[in-house]
Amino acid sequence: MCKWVKFVSILVFSMILAVGCSNNENTDQVSKKEAKTASDSKKNVELTISAAASLKDAMDVIQHTYEEKNPEVKLKFNFGGSGSLQQQITQGAPVDLFFSAAEDKFDLLVEEELIAKEDGLDLLGNELVLVVPRDAQSIKGFEDLTKAEVSKISIGTPETVPAGKYAKESLENSGVWKEVESKIVFAKDVRQVLSYVETGNVEAGIVYKTDALVSDKVEVVASADTATHPPIIYPVGVIKDSKQYEAAKVFYDYLQSADALKVFEEYGFTIK
């Protein structure tokens, strides 16, 4: 009888132990599944940033650093003329953050309530310069653009490219626009202007200082008088209806950090 009782007791204990282990195993599996789901969710965060073409080199560096520190975030950039980017956002393009080279294009999105005032700020400044192919001798300054031997000068399309708008205003206020207007070759953004000069398709171009600094094929021969055009300011802001608003806000804050600002300064931008 005692042996039978002992056998039953051992059997019951084994069953209880097996059930306990099974429950623990199920709990562990659920915990692991939840952790994996959370991890997968983080990895799926992709931010689309529409940024002025002149920001490309600095943003390439910032992208590498940020993604290295935040492997769960993927940054996707759409570079172009600020006016074109603004129009895309107005028309509903899925963008999370806008980094403009012009206040007026940015302010339009604020007025349309696509960017909240508290989610945007003026971050950077730039300078307008005249560039020519390296070793070119005929053009030494803006006054030389009126010479008969100068046949082609490139600027960005003023309606959509802030650098082009600033360039036209500078030439108008300097009193030479009417003399050079027939020589103007318009480009879709400042990088195309730079390319035209690099390849010798035009004899001169007006770009941002930051663009000129990244090319060893052009030479800066003059800086535009700041009194001839409005201040060049780069505002940045989070799109209000971003599907990744919180992640976009974190990246927006990072752009204001000492690490990011150092990169911008290295590429020739001034900090506002």
pTM score, two decimals? 0.79
The per-residue pLDDT for 43 is: 60
The per-residue pLDDT for 46 is: 97
Nearest to 230 by CA among 103, 130, 120, 117: 103
List, in sequence order, every residue forming a beta bridge with 270; answer none if it has no partner.
125
Query: pLDDT under 70 in the chain at which residues?
Result: 1-43
Q: Where in the chain do CATH 3.40.190.10 domains reside?
A: 42-125+233-271, 128-228
Q: Name the burial class of residue 160, with classes exposed (0-12), middle (13-18) and buried (19+) by CB atoms within 10 angstroms of its CB.
A: buried
The per-residue pLDDT for 138 is: 87
Which CATH superfamily includes the segment(s) 128-228? Periplasmic binding protein-like II (3.40.190.10)
CATH topology of domain 42-125+233-271: D-Maltodextrin-Binding Protein; domain 2 (3.40.190)
Q: Please count the CA atoms within 13 angstroms of the CA of 14 that sit on its side-chain side.
A: 6
The per-residue pLDDT for 27 is: 44
Q: Which residues contact 129 (CB under 8 A, 6 or more apart)?
A: 206, 207, 208, 209, 212, 220, 222, 223, 224
